[in-house]
Amino acid sequence: MALVLTEDQQMLKDSVAAFLADKAPVAQLRALRDSADATGFSRDLWREMAAMGLAGVLVPEAEGGSGFGYVGAGLAQEQIGRNLSASPMLSTAILGVTALLRGGSNAQRQALLPKIAAGDMLLALAADELARHNPTRVSTLATPSGNGFLLNGAKAFVLDGHVADKLIVSARTSGAEGAREGITLFLVDRAAAGVEVSRTVMVDSRNAAHVSLDDVQVAGEDVLGPVDGGHAILERVLDAGRACLAAEMLGVAAESFDRTVEYLKQREQFGVLIGSFQALQHRAAHLFCEVELVKSVVLRALQALDADDPRAPAFASLAKAKAGEVVRLATNEAVQLHGGIGMTDDFDVGFFMKRARAAAETFGDIAFHGDRLARLGGY
């Protein structure tokens, strides 16, 4: 598949770019933070995004969505990265929908997908338990009970957990902690008895929560995918999240870079524009190249997901690793090349650096994905 956008995709990109720059720029995230907003994003914005087809971007047209696929979702994520727009796009439209598409029964799909696409239902993935991403380290237990299971355990870093209507929880039905086999996914009502969700305020002002599960009863119909066989589904959900996070990081990196280059053309010192200093020119030129590389890996990872390419996991790791590395460089260079003003809260570049840190950490950083790539490559 050619590494270029189709006309439809280009149109989607342009319309999302215009929409978010207008409705959800960095100033909105700042306002949400400053007012300690209880939701952490604007529900009005999400309704409008749903109306544009973004909540259902991955949902097939026949099931009430817009069917733009992962390339479409990634294009939206890239613009979200450029504007630092807060929304449940990742938690619900990407992770939640992918889980339903890959593991959901017909009944689950019919019940949830149209509501998600309409913007009326939010999901959250509760997978990690430790501070560093590791989807097989699952010690949350699911023990048979009635026609279903009883869940006990705790989950960390659950994106949008405190506002989600339903949680997708990974729990152990068999096997030792760390084993791939024996993990099962469950759809759990956030309001169910025994579920306790506490929001954790993160450095990037985005939503995450800690979830504890204390004798939570789930019905047999709420198992997502096969019992003991949740890991394969979870990996596909995570890979979708990783590729789309890479797309978001591309947006963060590109925007930080553009703002920095602009500043080099405005700020004077020693009687000249600082952009005329070769030491800075070379740093900017190097960063330009790195951002170009990220564009390529992101597009290929998204295309591979759409095509169900067997190399999709490798491409997702490649994109996540490379984007994570470059977004760190881009945002750190942005702060450094802005000098003192880059360190001030009033100025926006700090927001980009904070988001870069959190996004790079989410679902595995370059160390995690480097290791995964090496294993996939047999070394």
Residues that bind other proteins (CB under 8 A): 2-4, 6, 8-9, 61, 66-69, 71-72, 261, 264-265, 272-273, 275-276, 278, 281-282, 284-286, 288-289, 292-297, 299-300, 318, 321-322, 325, 366-367, 370-371, 373-375, 377-379
- Phi, psi of 210, rounded to the nearest 5 degrees: -105, 130
Q: Write the CA distances from 133 to 175, 228, 230, 286, 365, integer angstroms.
A: 19, 21, 17, 30, 8
Residue 113's SS3 state is helix
Q: How far is the CB of 100 from other proteins (least distance, A)?
A: 18
Cα(130)–Cα(156) distance, integer angstroms:
7
- Phi, psi of 122, rounded to the nearest 5 degrees: -115, 140
Q: Which is nearer to other proteins, 61 or 196 (CB)?
A: 61
Please give the sequence-ordered ranges of beta strands (E in DSSP) within 245-289, or none if there are none.
Answer: 268-269, 272-273
Q: Write the CA distances from 203 to 77, 93, 361, integer angstroms.
A: 20, 23, 12
Q: How far is the CB of 202 from other proteins (least distance, A)?
A: 27
Q: How far is the CB of 68 from other proteins (least distance, A)?
A: 6
Q: How far is the CB of 196 from other proteins (least distance, A)?
A: 39
Cα(304)–Cα(318) distance, integer angstroms:
12
Whole-number CA gyration radius for the chain: 21
Q: How far is the CB of 225 from other proteins (least distance, A)?
A: 26
Sequence letter at residue 335: V
Q: Which is nearer to other proteins, 156 or 261 (CB)?
A: 261
CA 58-53-307 angle, to 5 degrees, is 25
Cα(152)–Cα(159) distance, integer angstroms:
20
Q: Which is nearer to other proteins, 69 or 175 (CB)?
A: 69
Q: How far is the CB of 48 from other proteins (least distance, A)?
A: 21
Distance of alpha carbon 42 from the chain centroid: 17
Q: Which is nearer to other proteins, 66 or 79 (CB)?
A: 66
Nearest CA to 181 among 192, 190, 170, 191? Answer: 170
- Give the per-residue SS3 of 204-226: CCCEEEEEEEEEEEECHHHEECC
Q: How far is the CB of 275 from other proteins (least distance, A)?
A: 4
Q: Which is nearer to other proteins, 209 or 294 (CB)?
A: 294
Q: Which is nearer to other proteins, 341 or 374 (CB)?
A: 374
Cα(238)–Cα(96) distance, integer angstroms:
10
Please give the sequence-ordered ranges of beta strands (E in DSSP) within the chain, or none if there are none.
Answer: 123-126, 141-145, 148-158, 166-172, 183-189, 195-201, 207-218, 223-224, 268-269, 272-273
Q: Which is nearer to other proteins, 199 or 295 (CB)?
A: 295
Q: How far is the CB of 262 from other proteins (least distance, A)?
A: 10
Q: Which is nearer to other proteins, 188 or 294 (CB)?
A: 294
Q: How far is the CB of 51 from other proteins (least distance, A)?
A: 17
Residue 202, number of CB atoms within 10 A of its CB: 18
Q: Which is nearer to other proteins, 14 or 371 (CB)?
A: 371
Q: How far is the CB of 379 from other proteins (least distance, A)?
A: 4
Q: Which is nearer to other proteins, 35 or 266 (CB)?
A: 266
Q: 142 has which bridge partners?
A: 151
